[in-house]
Homo-oligomer: A and B are copies of this chain.
Amino acid sequence: MNISDIETILNAHSAGSIPTDEAAAKLRNLSYEDIGYARIDHGRASRQGFPEVIFGQGKTPDQITGIFEKLIPRSPNVLITRTTPEVFGQIRNIFTDAEWHESAAMIRVVRDTTDLGLGEISVCTAGTSDIPVAEEAALTAEAMGNRVQRIWDAGVAGIHRILGERERLQNSRVVIVVAGMEGALPSVVGGLVAVPVIGVPTSIGYGASFHGLAALLGMLNSCASNVTVVNIDNGFGAGFAASLINRK
């Protein structure tokens, strides 16, 4: 639907030919804004309290800032993932209070900090090198109104490290586990807790890790039944899904 469609609905409503609730319903399922290289889906994010999100990879800086300018007047919280310091330079010119998160390569605007969660979200990593992906998850979950606790470098080869965090994990509402190499940590964590676990395989490793394939297959074949999986290095998706699970 393009902008003229939206205007048709608004005019019909203001002319009294359709009632308010019908106009709202129409807009809820149909609205987007076409700016040529992108169709921005305002309706979805604004109606559900989600932050607006721009996936930066594969877009030109001008496309990113063009979309950002459309989003910032409507949404209190905005994320730009997989982006660069150069883009941040341009974004800061548009909106001074944008944050740059180096490790996650993310730009973030957080103006609404309402707590929307039933409980806490824990984010664990198997190793130090997995932290950037885990930070993407954590920053996303925070921007979506959650309290997040971070547990870094607790891989299975030193099993006492994750066992030492058992209590914190068991008190979480959902746990995100980020691991490369053999990707075994979600299975162990899954066996320790009675809540949903989201596994995030990372591309950390070499040789037969095949850029995260080993970790991905490991998590998909987890012998713990409460583990679901997202794409390799997809910290954002894990943070997003965990936020929906934790939503009041």
- Residues of A bordering B, CB below 8 Å: 1-3, 5-7, 10-11, 13-14, 16, 20, 23-24, 27-32, 34, 36-39, 41, 44, 48, 50, 53, 57-59, 63, 82, 126-129, 131, 152-161, 163-164, 166-167, 170, 181-184, 187-188, 190-192, 194-196, 198, 201, 203-234, 236-238, 240-241, 244-245
Question: Is the pair B207, A232 in contact by a Cβ cutoff of 8 Å?
Answer: yes
Q: How many copies does the complex hold?
A: 8
Measured CA separation A168–B58 after assembly (Å)? 27
Measured CA separation A194–B166 after assembly (Å)? 25
Question: Is the pair A32, B160 in contact by a Cβ cutoff of 8 Å?
Answer: yes
Question: Is the pair B152, A183 in contact by a Cβ cutoff of 8 Å?
Answer: no
Given contacts A188-B184, A206-B57, contact A220 B216 (CB under 8 A): yes
Question: Is the pair B3, A195 in contact by a Cβ cutoff of 8 Å?
Answer: no
Question: Is the pair B153, A204 in contact by a Cβ cutoff of 8 Å?
Answer: no
Question: Is the pair B221, A3 in contact by a Cβ cutoff of 8 Å?
Answer: no
Residues from chain B with Cβ under 8 Å of A183 in the complex: 182, 218, 221
Given contacts A28-B164, A212-B207, contact A187 B156 (CB under 8 A): yes
Determine which of B156, B210, B232 lies in contact with A206 in the assembled complex, contact meaning CB atoms within 8 Å: B232
Question: Is the pair B36, A7 in contact by a Cβ cutoff of 8 Å?
Answer: no
Question: Is the pair A236, B228 in contact by a Cβ cutoff of 8 Å?
Answer: no
Nearest 4 pairs of A and B residues by beta carbon? A207-B232, A58-B129, A184-B184, A214-B217
Determine how close the nearest CB of chain B comes to the CB of A212; give it in whole angstroms: 6
Measured CA separation A5–B232 after assembly (Å)? 34
Determine how close the nearest CB of chain B comes to the CB of A163; give it in whole angstroms: 7
Question: Is the pair A241, B227 in contact by a Cβ cutoff of 8 Å?
Answer: yes
Question: Is the pair A53, B225 in contact by a Cβ cutoff of 8 Å?
Answer: yes
Measured CA separation A42–B226 after assembly (Å)? 17
Residues from chain B with Cβ under 8 Å of A207 in the complex: 201, 203, 211-212, 216, 220-221, 231-234
Question: Is the pair A20, B28 in contact by a Cβ cutoff of 8 Å?
Answer: no
Determine which of B154, B156, B170, B198 lies in contact with A188 in the assembled complex, contact meaning CB atoms within 8 Å: B156
Question: Which of chain B's residues has its CB closest to A32's CB?
Answer: B161
Question: Is the pair B10, A41 in contact by a Cβ cutoff of 8 Å?
Answer: no
Question: Is the pair B217, A218 in contact by a Cβ cutoff of 8 Å?
Answer: yes
Given contacts A11-B20, A167-B3, A225-B236, contact A39 B182 (CB under 8 A): no
Residues from chain B with Cβ under 8 Å of A161 in the complex: 1, 32, 39, 41
Residues from chain B with Cβ under 8 Å of A244 in the complex: 194-196, 226
